[in-house]
Amino acid sequence: MPSTRLHVALIGAGRMAQTHAAVLATLPGVRVRAVCDPREAAARALAEPLGAAAVTEAARVFDDPHVDAVLITTPTPTHAALVTRAAEAGKHVFVEKPVAATLEEAERVVAAVARAGVACQVGFQRRFDPAYVEAKRLVDAGELGALEGFRGVSRDPAPPPLAFLRSSGGLMVDLGIHDLDTARFFVGEVREVYAVGSVQVEPRLKEYGLFDTAVATLRFDNGALGTLELGLRTAYGYDVRAEILGERGRLHLEMDSRLHLRRYDAAGGSFVRPRGFEERFFDAYRGELLTFFACLRAGQPVSPDAADATKSLQLALAAQRSLETGSAVAVATFREGVAA
Amino acid sequence: MPSTRLHVALIGAGRMAQTHAAVLATLPGVRVRAVCDPREAAARALAEPLGAAAVTEAARVFDDPHVDAVLITTPTPTHAALVTRAAEAGKHVFVEKPVAATLEEAERVVAAVARAGVACQVGFQRRFDPAYVEAKRLVDAGELGALEGFRGVSRDPAPPPLAFLRSSGGLMVDLGIHDLDTARFFVGEVREVYAVGSVQVEPRLKEYGLFDTAVATLRFDNGALGTLELGLRTAYGYDVRAEILGERGRLHLEMDSRLHLRRYDAAGGSFVRPRGFEERFFDAYRGELLTFFACLRAGQPVSPDAADATKSLQLALAAQRSLETGSAVAVATFREGVAA
Amino acid sequence: MPSTRLHVALIGAGRMAQTHAAVLATLPGVRVRAVCDPREAAARALAEPLGAAAVTEAARVFDDPHVDAVLITTPTPTHAALVTRAAEAGKHVFVEKPVAATLEEAERVVAAVARAGVACQVGFQRRFDPAYVEAKRLVDAGELGALEGFRGVSRDPAPPPLAFLRSSGGLMVDLGIHDLDTARFFVGEVREVYAVGSVQVEPRLKEYGLFDTAVATLRFDNGALGTLELGLRTAYGYDVRAEILGERGRLHLEMDSRLHLRRYDAAGGSFVRPRGFEERFFDAYRGELLTFFACLRAGQPVSPDAADATKSLQLALAAQRSLETGSAVAVATFREGVAA
Amino acid sequence: MPSTRLHVALIGAGRMAQTHAAVLATLPGVRVRAVCDPREAAARALAEPLGAAAVTEAARVFDDPHVDAVLITTPTPTHAALVTRAAEAGKHVFVEKPVAATLEEAERVVAAVARAGVACQVGFQRRFDPAYVEAKRLVDAGELGALEGFRGVSRDPAPPPLAFLRSSGGLMVDLGIHDLDTARFFVGEVREVYAVGSVQVEPRLKEYGLFDTAVATLRFDNGALGTLELGLRTAYGYDVRAEILGERGRLHLEMDSRLHLRRYDAAGGSFVRPRGFEERFFDAYRGELLTFFACLRAGQPVSPDAADATKSLQLALAAQRSLETGSAVAVATFREGVAA
């Protein structure tokens, strides 16, 4: 398929880039042309097995006329500028969540992407997990009737380094945004959020006004109610769940057991659980890139796009504000820096 | 065992009385002597198969020297007066939750029971479900380490009659109190509760400022965080779940499948779910009465007693206040009629 | 209900008698009048908490005009004579499986019971487990279409004492008869059985030509095929399963988890399994006696009766023969002592 | 990675070739150079999206010096000749099961492969399913202690065309060989097999002495006992299961639910089941080819190789003989055409 081969560049060579690179190596018709990271060794380590060039300057990627699309996995504060530059260079963009660090930046990204006429998909991979895809089909087909409730749970096995936590925008923006995006994906927009947090895992977070554990209530525009539970440490592996309630039923999304294997011994019955996001969502990471490139080839719009992701960001920022202030926050009118 | 045979009277002949009567018929060494209900036909219908007398005046029960204990399942507003009279008559008491309609009443009940030196157990049957018993054992044995989180879910298949809902004290007091008691049972006292509600099932509730659906966040004294989800209608049966999180693990309490049977056909795999509380908690209803009578016989204190149940009531009233006002409520200092 | 109170006597005071006594203590309208066992201490231990008399001679029971029914749980070789005497004394009979030790004895029991006009129910309690009851309902309602297959599994956690094993009639007669009865209950008569066995648990069995482990194939009259797996030792608890296959679906009967509780910790997810037959089939033991007494009261035929149980015995004896000879055995024409 | 890029040719362009082609398209470092099938249109349909040549003569593949390895998915009777020619041409071979149609042919294949010094892996993909891999690890680590039992189940949703069934070697050779290979993989060699069959799905099979349903017992060299259940039609999807029993526990391999999604509605709880082997074993098909090519690159022996697969074939042929004759068959001495 030489005529449809797409050339991509990775910008960022960290953990998420590695996850995406593992997928890219298996995608027919996609070739990684370059990996860009200021840490040259990291760029090279990722580039070599892919037969790609390792570069340290993003300009090298943007100026390369053979690059069709870029995958941006750099730290959140750099997202807005990089997406904008990519769009201006006419490159299609796949960018990790959140689309930008602030609402204002996100809106500028939306505008830049629209101006350039490029595609910009944001990395909410859960939407591409086979179970979420089927759940969405059922919801859209009306199998649940009117939607009435939602539950989202995300618990990571272990907290990231303190430095990362300090720059990540907070628990709601870094972790909770996945569940909040899922809530929007299935049920619709959230009108009001109330969150409370605690520090139970990493005591040093207290100095920074940050939290490693949080719960929240959600009130949706359509009247549905929801809850959210977040944590940065479990003994028992990766714990991501979602429930969607409707007048006619309930859908329950959970990878409880990792393998199709149960073990029985003197302790009773047991099963192995997923230990991290790569294990839980490998199919989803694959699905989101497969879909991204399929849309590029077919000239169809990507989803979730920057505008959609901006709404998830606004919701996450509102939730983060509630977490920090102890007050319910109205989402639609929430602007950072302005009291809710 | 004539010497240890206990004679009990049922006060109230409604649905809960029927549930208890089904248990009492199977308890060796316990004899139902009378069923008391102002609706004579109801009293008689329950009394006859038990070989008991049907009476319409509670005084008949309290004045009967052969009655050792009474089981009170009358409407909540009558609890305090009946428990007090029973205690003053020297009868042991088993009373349905909530122990009283108001905090003040509940405290008077606690005092009356203490004065009389009788036992007073309150009907939080979930504590006696075999799974809850085992979970409690694990928690108390330190298997979860420090406790960090809780989730409670109670969804009834169908709402009770409007008249009942109007007099039940609200969703938190009538239904949520079970989950809040469970939260206390496993994790400890709740410091602050925030609840939001909606009307999605029974539109007429709006006129009365009541809700049929609610979610809440809980902040415990020990720093743990929790969520609560309540609803009065599901398409899929009775849905009661609890989760307890600790630094070393998580316990998940749920009767997902009613029978030890899975069915596979053209639609895939399926299983039958419990349809109501009797089905889900039959063993628990049996367990709480077995334990109540065993404690009476052994002269040991019953649990949960009126003082314990008063704390669950205070928490439920605080949650109900939050639901109605939209503000977080501090539980320990919450008094009805006083702004939180 | 004085008029419908039934008086029963237990003949045999061993483990099964204890299981039944625990049930009898909870059955309204049933009174245990006597417990009979040549070991007087055993009889007394069981009788006392039931308020019953302890006797050592069965004649005392048969001659007592107040005894309506007897529950026989003595060793298998005594079944035929005791059931016959009970029937001749006009007592209704509930007898543990197998109904007799040999086919000839079983047929004489059937005749004696018919002559006396009493009820005789045999203790295949699995038929009364709530899951089996529902499965039977589905099968009879045609939900599976034509029946095409069966699987039965019975694995005990630990072997009984060697002395018991030597007198029990062999693995197929003592343990496998439950699965073979289940096979007949759901799918119909078995035409041919082939079994192979091994000694993996209790090496001393080899001296007696006995087995502690066996598998078998079943060919049913209607063309369906089945398998059977038996064992006398597991590390992981009590393992009884059944599967029924039809052209339109499959039913799977298994108590995988004992409690409605899952535990998650550093080892993954786990659950508690049932450890013995009392735990797995408590509801079934209760159900079979409830039904037995309800039939007696209503004057309706009991089931499985002696004739039905004789067919299960014939099948078990045929399977035992196959196990011992290594040849397939045709069931319908199988007579003990005659080559298949 | 140009230096390690492996060039492969597909011989056969049917359903299994399509399954493998889907995997090959995602394997980095592997290039499909040609697809060979006498049906030119089929070859072309498969070749084109892979950017490969379509040829109709296998000689074209064997004579091509750039072809490193061939994947043979042609009908079973052609396996032996094609593998032999490939080996003689110095090509590594991946061939679908069974390795050959007869035991004699299989032994000649083993010799030819050994002479040529090429690798020859046979397509028992289940060994590469992640759950089977983990189960094998546990068994090899001694977690089950001594192995005592096995159960294999394979039920296809719908029978293949009659023409295929007639030429497939029979139910044990075409379908059962997977379970029998699994039995050998986990527990070891089988000493004796006894099988019974029936025709319940495709009545025309009776004319040809073939069966669509079978059950069998297995006696292993180490004393373990096993069962096998096979069928060619289910209403409820693809049903492949395996159980391994040991003195210290049991492993249960089953994909009961296809998606990590449960649905609850008025019918109760339900889940989606896998519908076919591609869905159930996609990871396994990927795993076996990944491993095959990794072994080629590393110069390590492949597994299961032709000699290993020959033992599975011998066992399957012995089981087929038992199915057809109604007698138990001793496996080690079984030779086709010679009475067991």
Please report the pLDDT score of residue A62 as a whole number.
98
Cα A266 to the center of its chain, rounded Å = 41
**Distance of residue C26 Cα from the nearest chain B Cα, in angstroms:** 4
Q: Which chains form contacts with chain B, at 3 or more CB pairs under 8 Å? A: A, C, D
* Cα distance between residue A118 and residue A116, in whole Å: 5
User: Is B267 part of the contact surface with chain D (CB cutoff 8 Å)?
Assistant: yes
pLDDT in tens, B18-45: 999 999 999 989 999 999 999 999 999 9
Q: What is the pLDDT of residue A317?
A: 97
CA distance D169 to D164: 9
Read off the pLDDT of residues B105-161 as tens digits, 9 standing for 90 and up: 999 999 999 999 999 999 999 999 999 999 999 999 999 999 999 999 999 999 999
* Residue keyed to tokens 């399977």: C319
Which amino acid would we find at residue C84? T
pLDDT of residue C340: 35
Give helix D277-298 / helix D130-140 axis angle, nearest 10°: 60
In chain B, what residues touch C130 (CB-CB under 8 Å)?
A: 259-260
Query: Mean pLDDT, to the nearest integer, of A79-97?
Result: 98
Give residue B236's identity as a one-letter amino acid code. Answer: Y
Residue D130: which of A248, A259, A266 has the nearest Cβ? A259
Please check whether residue C163 touches A, CB under 8 A: no
Cβ neighbours of A231 in B, within 8 Å: 148-149, 245
- Flag if B227 and A231 touch (Cβ within 8 Å): no
pLDDT tens profile B160-172: 999 999 988 999 9
Please report residues of B whose CB lies closer than 8 A to that of A257: none
Per-residue pLDDT of B276-316, as tens digits, reads 999 999 999 999 999 999 999 999 999 999 999 999 999 99
Top residue of A257, A263, A270 to mutate, by most chain C CBs within 10 Å, is A270
Is residue B304 within 8 A of residue B122, CB to CB? The reply is yes
Return the structure tokens found at A106.
């996100």
Q: Looking at domain B128-282+312-330, which of 3.40.50.2300, 3.30.479.10, 3.30.360.10, 3.40.50.360 is its CATH number?
A: 3.30.360.10
C121: left (phi over 0), alpha (psi -120 to 50) or beta: beta
User: Which residue among C265, C268, C273 places its CB closest to the CB of A264?
Assistant: C273
Interface chains of chain C (3 or more CB pairs under 8 Å) = A, B, D
B76-100 pLDDT, tens digit each? 999 999 999 999 999 999 999 999 9
pLDDT, residue C2, reads 36
Compute the average pLDDT of residues D69-93. Answer: 97
Q: If you average pLDDT over residues A98-121, what whole number do you get?
A: 97
Residue in chain B nearest A256 by alpha carbon: B252
What is the pLDDT, as a whole number, of residue B337? 52
- Which residue among B25, B250, B261 places its CB closest to the CB of C253? B261
For the C2-125 domain, the top CATH level (class) is alpha beta
- pLDDT for the residue numbered D337: 52
Q: Measured between CB atoms, which of B129, B256, B262 is closest to C252?
A: B262
State the pTM of this model.
Answer: 0.96
B251 at the C interface (CB within 8 A)? yes
**Interface check D223 vs C, CB under 8 A:** yes
Q: Give A126-185 pLDDT, tens digit per residue.
A: 999 999 999 999 999 999 999 999 999 999 999 999 999 998 899 999 999 999 999 999
Tokens of A57: 């300057």
Question: Could you tell me if B138 lies within 8 Å of chain A, comparing CB atoms?
Answer: no
| Residue A185 near residue A140 (C-beta atoms within 8 A) | no
Summarize the confidence of residues C117-132 as an average pLDDT: 98
Total number of residues shown for chain D: 340
Segment C91-119 mean pLDDT:
97
CATH of domain B2-126: 3.40.50.720
Closest CA to D232 of D206, D198, D257: D198
The type of residue at D138 is L
Question: Six-digit token pair at C307?
Answer: 């004739």
In angstroms, what is the C-alpha Rg of chain A?
Answer: 20
- What pLDDT was estimated at residue A2? 37
Q: Reply yes or no on whether the pLDDT at C336 is more than 90.
A: no
Q: Which amino acid is at C85?
A: R
B49 vs C31: CA distance, rounded Å: 16
Quick check: A339 pLDDT over 70? no
- 8 Å CB contact of B265 and C250: yes
Tell me the three state secondary structure of residue A219. Answer: strand
Q: Specify the pLDDT at position D167.
A: 86
Element (H, E) at C289: helix C277-298
* Domain spans, chain A: 2-126+283-300, 129-280+312-330
B247 in contact with A, Cβ within 8 Å: yes
As a whole number of angstroms, the distance between CA B201 and CA C83 comes to: 60
What is the reported pLDDT for D339? 38
- Orientation of helix A15-24 relative to helix A277-298, angle to 10°: 60
R_g (Cα) of chain D, nearest Å: 20
The beta-carbon neighbor of A273 closest among C234, C268, C271 is C268
B262 within 8 A of B256, measured Cβ to Cβ:
no
A257 touches chain B (CB under 8 A): no
E-assigned strand segments in C24-96: 30-36, 53-55, 69-72, 92-95
Read off the pLDDT of residues B253-276 as tens digits, 9 standing for 90 and up. 999 999 999 999 999 999 999 999
Cis preceding linkage at B274, omega within 30:
no
The whole-chain average pLDDT of chain D stands at: 95
As a whole number of angstroms, the distance between CA D301 and CA B86 comes to: 83
Contact A268 C235 (CB under 8 A): no
Is any Cβ of chain C less than 8 angstroms from the Cβ of B201? no
Q: Which of A121, A186, A115, A192 is nearest to A147 (CA)?
A: A186
Does residue A338 surpass a pLDDT of 70? no
Chain A contacts of B198, Cβ < 8 Å? Answer: 219, 223-225
Q: Say whether residue B332 is in contact with chain D using an 8 A CB cutoff.
A: no
Q: What are phi and psi of C243, to 5 degrees?
A: -130, 140
Question: Smallest CA–CA separation between B268 and chain D, in Å?
Answer: 5
A272 neighbourhood in chain C, CB within 8 Å: 268-269
Distance from the Cα of B234 to chain D's closest Cα (Å) equals 8
Q: Is D230 exposed, middle or buried (0-12, 13-18, 19+ CB in 10 A)?
A: buried
**Could you write out the three-class secondary structure of chain D?**
CHHHCEEEEEECCCHHHHHHHHHHCCCCCEEEEEEECCCHHHHHHHHHHHCCEEECCHHHHHCCCCCCEEEECCCHHHHHHHHHHHHHCCCEEEECCCCCCCHHHHHHHHHHHHHHCCCEEECCHHHHCHHHHHHHHHHHCCCCCCEEEEEEEEECCCCCCHHHHHHCCCHHHHHHHHHHHHHHHHCCCEEEEEEEEECCCCHHHHHHCCCCEEEEEEEECCCCEEEEEEECCCCCCCEEEEEEEECCEEEEEECCCCCCEEEEECCEEEECCCCCHHHHHHHHHHHHHHHHHHHHHHCCCCCCEHHHHHHHHHHHHHHHHHHHHCCCEECCCCCCCCCC
DSSP H helical ranges for A15-150: 15-24, 40-50, 58-62, 79-88, 103-116, 130-140
Q: Do domains C2-125 and C127-282+312-330 have the same CATH topology?
A: no
Q: Is the pLDDT at C59 greater than 80, yes or no?
A: yes
Nearest CA among C202, C157, A331, D268 for reference residue B273: D268
Strands A6-11 and A30-36: parallel
Has residue D340 got a pLDDT over 60? no
- Amino acid residing at A116: A
- Show residues of chain D in contact with C227, CB under 8 Å: 151, 215, 217, 227, 229
Segment B37-59 mean pLDDT? 97
Q: How far apart are CA B332 and CA B330, in angstroms?
A: 6
Query: DSSP letter at C337?
Result: T
Structure confidence by residue, pLDDT tens digits, C238-274: 999 999 999 999 999 999 999 999 999 999 999 999 9
State mean pLDDT over B201-224: 96
The ipTM of this complex is 0.95
Topology annotation, domain A2-126+283-300: Rossmann fold (3.40.50)
How do residues A48-65 score in pLDDT, each as one tens digit?
Answer: 999 999 999 999 999 999
CA D205, D207, D209: angle at the middle one, nearest 5? 70
CB-CB under 8 Å, D249 with A51? no
Is residue D176 over pLDDT 80?
yes
The pLDDT tens digits for B325-336 are 999 999 999 987
The hierarchical CATH code for the domain D127-282+312-330 is: 3.30.360.10
pLDDT digits 0-9 by tens, A230-284? 999 999 999 999 999 999 999 999 999 999 999 999 999 999 999 999 999 999 9
Q: Which residues pair with A71 in a beta bridge?
A: A10, A94
**Mean pLDDT (whole number) for B64-72:** 98
In this prediction, residue A337 carries a pLDDT of 52
Q: Pick one of 3.40.1360.10, 3.30.360.10, 3.30.2020.30, 3.40.50.920 as the CATH number of A129-280+312-330.
A: 3.30.360.10
Substitution target in B233, B273, B280 with the highest count of D β-carbons within 10 Å is: B273
> Which residues from chain D sit within 8 angstroms of residue C248, using beta carbons?
235
How far is Cα D85 from Cα D79, in angstroms, rounded to an integer? 10
